[in-house]
Amino acid sequence: MSQKLTVECKVGDLRDELVVNGPLSEETESILAAIEFPKSLKSDVVLDLAGIKHVNSIGIRDWIPFVQRLEKAHRLVLRRCSPTFVMACNVVQAMRGKAHVESVCRGYECPNRHYFWVDVALGSSKKQTDEKVPCERCGLKAAPEYDADEYFRFLE
């Protein structure tokens, strides 16, 4: 896999954001272990996970200590969790740690085989439905890639 994992820190007014892009794979451990968080990092930290496109068991093994290290000093919020990350969380609950999940990206496909994501804000209600949404490219009704009970299982 040629793409490397990157973690970019964006400073915000109320909370800071760590934007994670790339695979959670064999090369993840050295990258995550080398990250030194700025002392100025706010107590609330958002992890934007839309850029995680590949996860394997070694990447999961290395991700969990990274989340645990962050949780020692910060309240974590997960935002825009990619479908790949969500499905990995459904297998290994420890991937999300104690973080609050603010939103997830949910995959949809229309009859013309256009695939796209919709950012689903979770709010106070964790109950999601399998309603179809208009395709971004052709306007036809697109169905979710996974049914709601399966996809959102990690939130239970």
Q: In the predicted model, what is the mean pLDDT of residues 2-31?
A: 91
| Per-residue pLDDT reduced to its tens digit, 52-63 | 999 999 999 999
pLDDT score for 127: 65
DSSP 26: T
What does the domain layout of the chain look like in residue ranges? 6-155
Pairing of strands 115-121, 6-10: unpaired
Count of residues making up the chain: 156
pLDDT score for 145: 94
pLDDT score for 148: 93
| Per-residue pLDDT reduced to its tens digit, 15-24 | 999 999 999 9
pLDDT score for 2: 65
Distances (CA, A) of 58 to 36, 53, 55, 62, 108: 21, 15, 8, 6, 28
The one-letter amino acid code at 40 reads S
Q: Residue 62: which of 32, 90, 86, 89 has the closest Cα? A: 32
- Full strand arrangement of the beta sheet holding 141-144: 115-121, 103-109, 141-144, 133-134
What is the CATH number that goes with domain 6-155? 3.30.750.24
Q: Has residue 29 got a pLDDT over 90?
A: no
Q: Is 84 exposed, middle or buried (0-12, 13-18, 19+ CB in 10 A)?
A: middle
Mean pLDDT across the chain? 92
pLDDT score for 63: 97
Give me 2's structure tokens: 């040629």
- What phi and psi values does residue 29 have, to the nearest 5 degrees? -55, -50
Per DSSP, the residues of 113-133 read --EEEEEEE--S--------E
Q: State the pLDDT confidence band at 85, using cuts at 50, 70 and 90.
A: very high
| Per-residue pLDDT reduced to its tens digit, 94-153 | 999 999 999 999 999 999 999 999 999 997 555 678 899 999 999 999 999 999 999 999
